Amino acid sequence: MRLAILALAGAISTTATANWQLANEHSSVHFISTKNTHVSELHHFSQMSGSLTDDGSLSITIDLASVQTGIEIRDTRMREKLFNVAAMPAATITANLDEGIMTMAKGTAQRVVVPATLSLNGQQQSLSLDLMVMRDANAGFVATSVAPVLLKATDFGLAEGLDVLQGIAGLKAIGHTVPVSVSVTFRAN
């Protein structure tokens, strides 16, 4: 009997500490900027980290200095003038996933809307992430945007930075609403 109780306690302890880490090489955050009304360009962040615990607690940290636009000087200007990475180097997404997601069987997928919080530039905003979540054969999780999230520069105190970039580049306009899409993979520790 005592051995059974110890085995059960060990199983509960293992379950309580089980978690997954974000696989950066299989994850992405992309956004589209629009300038001069009709020119849209795709950008991304190359570095992020994150964790998912068995109770559904999710946290993703995006390294804003890893912005990749395809033009080095623009990357530098975005780091300095828009994101101010010296003072605010990261954006963070947090959420609590419900039990239905956490107990998905291997090889299954489901579409879910996940309430989340984005912390960026000292501001926090609630988001609804429309995702397709799959539990892969290796017991990891893959979540991909079904629809992009529209982020407004004014909600995060970034409008002034966009105006500065517009002036430096000599543009007529830079759009203040940006569609963002994610694809993240979490692997078991």
CATH classification of the domain holding 63 = 2.40.128.110
Task: Output 139-142 pairs: Cβ under 8 A, ≥24 positions apart.
Answer: 139/106, 139/188, 140/20, 140/23, 140/185, 140/186, 140/187, 140/188, 141/20, 141/52, 141/101, 141/185, 141/186, 142/26, 142/183, 142/184, 142/185, 142/186
In a domain, 110, yes or no: yes
Cα(150)–Cα(2) distance, integer angstroms: 56
Structural domain including 45 reads 19-188
Cα(134)–Cα(139) distance, integer angstroms: 10
Q: How many domains does the chain have?
A: 1
In a domain, 55, yes or no: yes
Cα(62)–Cα(17) distance, integer angstroms: 24
In a domain, 101, yes or no: yes
In a domain, 86, yes or no: yes
The pLDDT, as a whole number, for residue 172 is: 96
pLDDT tens-place values along the chain, 189 residues long = 343 333 444 444 334 445 999 999 999 999 999 999 999 999 999 999 999 999 999 999 999 999 999 999 999 999 999 999 999 999 999 999 999 999 999 999 999 999 999 999 999 999 999 999 999 888 899 999 999 999 999 999 999 999 999 999 999 999 999 999 999 999 998
In a domain, 7, yes or no: no
In a domain, 32, yes or no: yes
